Amino acid sequence: MSGISLTFLLAVLAMTLRTALHYSGVAVAPFDFALVHLLFIVLATWFSGHFLLRRDPSRGFGELMRTGFQSAMLYAFLLGTFTWCFYKFIEPDAFAAYNERLIQGFMAQGHQAGEARRKVEGLYNGLNYSVLSFFGLLMAAALNTVVFALVHHKLLRRFRGSMQ
């Protein structure tokens, strides 16, 4: 198995889990699923370096970074695309209740209803959330990639050499 294959499987698992929770009636707020994504990002970036060094222990730090970033980009792209599709087709009214509370709050402060609605709905929607998800996942995965590449390169390489 390679890091890309595992990352693809983890992304499919995250998408399946999120969809299954929705259709089973479990209410999951958009940001509540972030811990699952962070766990899967850690697994994807860790094992991408692990699989690379298992195939060829002579690979360097740059190659560990490259394979980790490839896995990170794949996971972020797949989940960003899924998030947009999810909030566009499966649960299009996910942000409606939250937006209504914000609009009521703005109206209580004296803002016009139309203007408040336009600003709130322009900011809190599925497209913006999917873009934020993509970049957030990518940044979290990039940080994990750097840390795990250093750990694999500086620490675990010594143990691999002493075990063979």
Q: Say how far apart CA 70 and CA 64 lie, in whole Å.
A: 10
pTM over 0.85: yes
Q: Are 19 and 90 in contact (CB under 8 A)?
A: yes
Measured in whole angstroms, the distance separating CA 27 from the mean position of its chain's CA atoms is 19
For 73-126, the pLDDT digits (tens) are 999 999 999 999 999 999 988 888 788 888 898 889 998 988 888 888 888 888
Phi (first) and psi of residue 33, to 5 degrees: -90, 0
Residues 6+ apart with CB under 8 A from 67: 3, 48, 49, 51, 52
Q: Say how far apart CA 92 and CA 110 lie, in whole Å.
A: 29
Q: Are 134 and 80 in contact (CB under 8 A)?
A: yes
For residue 80, give both structure tokens: 């960003």
Q: Say how far apart CA 153 and CA 127 lie, in whole Å.
A: 38
Q: Are 107 and 88 in contact (CB under 8 A)?
A: no
For 29-82, the pLDDT digits (tens) are 777 888 999 999 999 999 999 999 999 888 999 999 999 999 999 999 999 999
Total residue count of the chain as it appears in this document: 164
Q: Say how far apart CA 14 and CA 21 lie, in whole Å.
A: 11
For residue 96, give both structure tokens: 């409606």
Handedness of CA 23, 28, 30, 31 (dihedral sign): negative
